[in-house]
Each structure stands twice: as C-alpha cells, then as structure tokens.
Amino acid sequence: MEDHRKYLKPEVISRLQPFNLKARLVVEGFITGLHKSPYHGFSVEFAEHRQYMPGDDLKHIDWKIYGRTNRHYVKQYEEETNLKCTLIVDSSASMKYASPGNISKFEYASYLAGALAYLMTKQQDAVGLATYDSEVRTYMPPRSRGSFIQEILRTLDNTTPSNETGTAQALDRLAERISRRGLIIIISDFFDDTASILAALKHFRHKKHEVIAFQVLDPRELDFNFGSDAIFKDLETAEEMTTQPFQIQQAYIETMAAFTEELKRECRTRSIDYMLLNTSEPFDKAMVHYLSRRQRIGG
C-alpha cells in the first residue's frame, strides 16, 4: 500500500460515508444547503486525454497528438460542479509539534484534509489543495475528477513542515489568487498575530467565499501540563528555555483560552465556521461530530 493511502483508511471512510459537506452561504454556482444536479453541462476545463473510441465526437480529437503518434486521442473535459473547495493546510514549523503519545499537528491536519477531500470527491464537487509556511508552497486548483484525490494525498505525504509561520501573509496571498467563489477550508494552529489572521480571513469573506476554520492544537498547548521541570524549544528559532511549568501554567491556560475564544468569537461575527480540534481526539470522531452538528443546523 502506498504511504499516502494511510490518509483514507477503510474504517474512517465507513464512518464518513453518511455525511455530505454542503455550503451554507450562496457561492458561485451553488445554492445554500442544496445540491442541484451534480453537473451543469459541458465545461471548457480540459482534464486529460484518452484513446479515441467508436462513437466519440470527432471534434474532440487532438490532431496535434495524432500528428506526433499517428493515433487518435480525444480531449476529456471536467464537468462543472456545484462547488469548488480549496483545502488550505498550514505546513509551518509550529505544526511539527507533537507531545508524547500524540501525532503532530501537521499529520493530524493531513488526515483531516484527506477525509475532507474524500467527502468533496464523493459529492462530485471539485477540491484543491494549498500548503503554506511563511509563503504559499503548494497550490493545486480544484478539480472534480476522482483520480485527483490521489495527487492531493501524495502532496500531503511529501510535505514536511518547515520555516517560520506566516499564516496571515500566506492567507492574504491565497485570497487574491483564488478567483472563483467557493468553499475555503483552513486547517492551522493559527499561531500568528490574531488581528492579522482575522484580517486575512475577512479577505476571503470579502471575496464572497464561504470559510471554515479548523484550529488544530496539541493537548499540551491547551493545558500546559508538562510536569515540574521542562526545557522548551522554539520550533522556528531553536531557542531553548528551562522553566518550571506549574509556576506559569494558570496564566498560560488563561492566555490560550482568551486566544481561542477571540478567534471563535470574531469568526462568528464574520460568518466563518470555526472548530477547535485537539490532536488527542481521533480526527474522524471530531469530523463526525462536526458534520453532524453542521447538518443539524442546516448546512
């Protein structure tokens, strides 16, 4: 089994099978809460070639390929789908963090992105992927063909978190780059200046995208339960500091709670769906909980 297949284990797929991820807001070609017919007719977006078969329309034969190979191939086009979804995954250095007994935030985000890509593909919607650290590192525009999910999973598997965080800057650049309105799903720890992050999220909303923000945090980042003595190392600067965590634990917990609460509150005011995810909780369980709640309230 190829490594990237780990992102779609059969037991996870079976749990996600009953769900759909629909847009709540009106986005281009998509009506709130309803899928119309999966296809709107013939699209102009070229997907791939296949060998000519009797009955194919001759106007779709690629004569340039015939000139090179003396064989007939026809151009295949992607049908337009109701929804274009872009998964944006944070691959900055802070996403490498994993406390003992837990997977890294980036690995957790990758499993989540794989499951979401599967859901969109199952719905015959288009899905794409972007990864970033301080810059946009990968951008794969949404495609609706079934085989494209393998490219998404392979890209996630080949991505290693690195460099400093630049969430706000990268999101701003992606907001400028993604022109057609659709569903934007951002998976990040959002460790950046809060005001700048909120401004970047607002940028997507200004472009009429629907936005879902998944904040992925390690349990130790939430409870600061490191015991009596610990050495802390900055994953981006490699700077180390020795301290007694219990002395600052309460202040830390309050600061982190204020950070996540502000993010949640400000997302709500901008009609952005927000969910905090803890890497100690199985991601598929968190997904089922989120999708169940979203379906109950009509999205």
In the chain, the domains with their CATH numbers are 3-30+83-296 (3.40.50.410), 46-77 (no CATH)
pLDDT of residue 39: 34
> Comparing 5-9, 53-57, 233-237, which segment has the lowest mean pLDDT?
233-237
| 243 contacts 251 by C-beta, under 8 angstroms | no
3-state secondary structure 143-199: ECCCCHHHHHHHHHHCCCCCCCCCHHHHHHHHHHHCCCCCEEEEEECCCCCHHHHHH
pLDDT confidence band for 290 (50 / 70 / 90)? confident
Question: In the chain, what percentage of residues exceed pLDDT 90?
Answer: 44
Of 259, 102, 277, the closest CA to residue 188 belongs to 277
| 191 contacts 167 by C-beta, under 8 angstroms | yes
Q: Which residue has the tokens 């106007």?
A: 59
Residue 84 has pLDDT above 80, yes or no: yes
Residue 146 has pLDDT above 50, yes or no: yes
Locate 38 and state its tokens. Answer: 């999966």
pLDDT confidence band for 15 (50 / 70 / 90)? confident
Of 83, 82, 33, 88, the closest CA to residue 201 belongs to 88
| pTM of this structure | 0.75
> Mean pLDDT over residues 149-168, rounded?
90
What is the chain's mean pLDDT, rounded? 80
**Whole-angstrom Cα distance, residue 156 to residue 151?**
9
> Mean pLDDT over residues 199-223, rounded?
94
Residue 244 has pLDDT above 90, yes or no: no
**Whole-angstrom Cα distance, residue 153 to residue 211?**
22
